[in-house]
């Protein structure tokens, strides 16, 4: 994916998945690429249409949750592009978990019964529902792995004030409840997800992606209870299957490990899983938008001109 140069551009940052352009002090342009990361490592091959899937789900979910918390998004000039207000980010990822899965399950299986200060009851099995959703925050790392952190550490490090932390927790749980409700309408269970927040003119705002397969884990609700009773694997719609494939092939992002080869068939499988999740979560048929770089740039510039005139 090329780097653009927009009028008034004052900064550029290439993340694991998104290219972020700062326009003046007010606007951000986020271009969702087809890059895919796991264990905080960018994998060697892009996934067709992944950027469009992520951006379109996020845009839809930001609109579905705007009544709970204001958010940064203002315009979506192309399927893989979002433009919005620049916020001062909290260096925290608000991870919320409704089910014992992924990192929480690996921690639980090791014998621990707390994660980021949140208690996990005895007697749980992988994928079981927690009695109530738990918040297990992590710090946002510029490079390398994000790190688990407790609420006490967040306050002692000054990453948020006590008042801000209380608001972040309240909003996080309400957003997760909304996400679960939206998922249930589509025959899905939102097992866990993460939210990122920032400050804008003294107000806490929701940032970045919301309820996408990169930030969330979904189970199919049909047959979930029966599979749990029988001890069978749950059917997931998330990026976890990519992590599981990497683990099975000896890669967990640790020093000295090599990313396994990604054959064409596997890349197509990942793309298909992303598109399937888009259609399940949104209830819409995925129709790819095919734009060349020149048209993408033109749409972004036109949008920025309109916003500047407001």
**Domain extents in the chain:** 9-87+259-309, 89-238
Provide the CA 156 distance to its chain's centre, in angstroms. 26
Q: What is the pLDDT of residue 237?
A: 77
**pLDDT value of residue 184:** 96
Tens-digit pLDDT string for the chain (310 aa)? 668 999 999 999 998 889 999 999 999 999 999 999 988 889 999 999 999 999 999 999 999 999 999 999 999 999 999 999 999 999 999 999 999 999 999 999 999 999 999 999 999 999 999 999 999 999 976 555 679 999 999 999 999 999 999 999 999 999 999 999 999 999 999 999 999 999 999 999 999 889 988 889 999 999 999 999 999 999 887 787 898 899 999 999 888 899 999 999 999 999 998 998 899 888 899 999 999 999 999 999 999 999 987 5
Q: Is the domain defined by 89-238 classed in CATH 3.40.50.620?
A: no
What pLDDT was estimated at residue 81? 97
Say which CATH topology domain 9-87+259-309 has: Phosphorylase Kinase; domain 1 (3.30.200)
């Amino acid at each position: 994916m090329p780097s653009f140069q927009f009028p008034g551009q004052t900064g550029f940052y290439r993340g694991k998945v998104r290219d972020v352009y700062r326009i003046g002090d007010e606007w951000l342009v986020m271009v969702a690429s087809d890059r895919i990361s796991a264990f905080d490592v960018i994998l060697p091959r892009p996934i067709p249409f992944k950027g469009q899937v992520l951006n379109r789900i996020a845009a839809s979910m930001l609109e579905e949750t705007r009544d709970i918390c204001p958010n940064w998004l203002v315009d979506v000039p192309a399927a893989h592009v979002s433009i919005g207000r620049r916020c001062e980010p909290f260096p925290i990822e608000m991870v919320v978990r409704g089910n014992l899965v992924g990192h929480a399950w690996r921690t639980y299986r090791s014998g621990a019964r707390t994660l980021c200060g949140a208690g996990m009851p005895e007697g749980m099995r992988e994928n079981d529902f927690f009695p109530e959703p738990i918040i297990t925050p992590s710090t946002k790392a510029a490079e390398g792995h994000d790190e688990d952190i407790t609420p006490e550490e967040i306050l002692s490090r000054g990453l948020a004030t006590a008042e801000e932390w209380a608001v972040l927790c309240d909003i996080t749980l309400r957003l997760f409840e909304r996400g679960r409700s939206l998922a249930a309408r589509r025959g899905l269970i939102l097992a866990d997800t993460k939210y990122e927040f920032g400050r804008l003119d003294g107000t806490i705002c929701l940032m970045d992606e919301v309820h996408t397969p990169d930030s969330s884990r979904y189970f199919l609700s049909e047959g979930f209870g029966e599979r749990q009773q029988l001890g069978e694997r749950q059917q997931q719609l998330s990026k976890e299957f990519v992590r599981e494939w990497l683990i099975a092939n000896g890669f967990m992002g640790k020093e000295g490990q090599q990313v396994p080869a990604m054959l064409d068939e596997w890349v197509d499988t990942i793309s298909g899983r992303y598109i399937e999740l888009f259609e399940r979560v949104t209830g819409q048929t995925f129709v790819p938008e095919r734009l060349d770089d020149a048209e993408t740039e033109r749409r972004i510039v036109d949008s920025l001109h309109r916003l500047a005139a407001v």
